[in-house]
A and B are shown apart, each in its own frame.
Chain A
Amino acid sequence: AQSVAQPEDQVNVAEGNPLTVKCTYSVSGNPYLFWYVQYPNRGLQFLLKYITGDNLVKGSYGFEAEFNKSQTSFHLKKPSALVSDSALYFCAVRGDYTNAGKSTFGDGTTLTVKP
């Protein structure tokens, strides 16, 4: 079985400050990890993914994420937050043995960036 935990329902940061949205996972085999963003009443948009290789992954809109195998974490980061980054963020995991490419999603973290 695979699972994802996003321990924070809400993250608040001031514009210009760094942000971190946390994610830990559990999966059989090698993990494939993803971050998505959702704006109100819209579908999810892909931000970035970790498949293999460099533990620091860079994605869209200046976001990056760090894969830490020993801590089974994949935290999303951005050096300088923008008000427009305010949205709902989902972490997702898929394992080597996952049937049909199904991903398991976390419950989401609402990021609010204040001016």
Chain B
Amino acid sequence: SQTIHQWPATLVQPVGSPLSLECTVEGTSNPNLYWYRQAAGRGLQLLFYSVGIGQISSEVPQNLSASRPQDRQFILSSKKLLLSDSGFYLCAWSSGLMNTEAFFGQGTRLTVV
């Protein structure tokens, strides 16, 4: 069966510090991978998605970047965090088929202080 791992679960970082959140998927090949941010327990904003190794698409301009160094690894990064980067970050994957649901990681609560 497929599983998705996302870590860390919580993170408190000072303004101006770097960020690296990691997400890995097991039990599937060539998944579509996504990073979402959820503000204040409400709607999800798609930040990045990837359909293959090294292929990253950004949905919104921001202080963050993403990379996919391996087929089932997706990393969210920042060189210098801003206060506005605080939020709940969710990694997800889906197959390449249009009729399949997405599977989400447990999320990372990032607080920038």
Contact = CB atoms under 8 A, between A and B. Distances in A.
* Size category, B interface: 20 to 34
Interface residues of A, number: 26
Interface in B21-79: 32, 34, 41-44, 46, 49, 51, 57
B104 A43 contact: yes
B46 A49 contact: no
A100 B100 CA distance: 12
Contacts of A43: 6, 90, 92, 104-107
Contacts, number: 61
Given A43-B90, A102-B49, A108 B98 contact: no
Scoring A32, A36, A43, A92 by chain B CB atoms within 10 A of each residue's CB, the highest score goes to: A43
Contacts of A22: none
A96 B57 CA distance: 19
Nearest to A105: B44
B66 to A, nearest CB: 13
A34 interface: yes
B32 A101 contact: yes
Contacts of B51: 100
Contacts of B97: 101
B94 interface: yes
A108 B90 CA distance: 15
A105 B102 CA distance: 11
A16 B87 CA distance: 35
Contacts of A32: 98-99
Contacts of A34: 101-102
Interface string A7-48: 000000000000000000000000010101000111111100
Interface string A78-115: 00000000001010101010101111011110000000
A41 B99 CA distance: 27
Interface of A: 32, 34, 36, 40-46, 49, 51, 88, 90, 92, 94, 96, 98, 100-103, 105-108
Closest 10 CB pairs of A and B: A43-B104, A107-B43, A51-B99, A46-B101, A105-B44, A44-B104, A43-B106, A100-B51, A101-B32, A43-B107
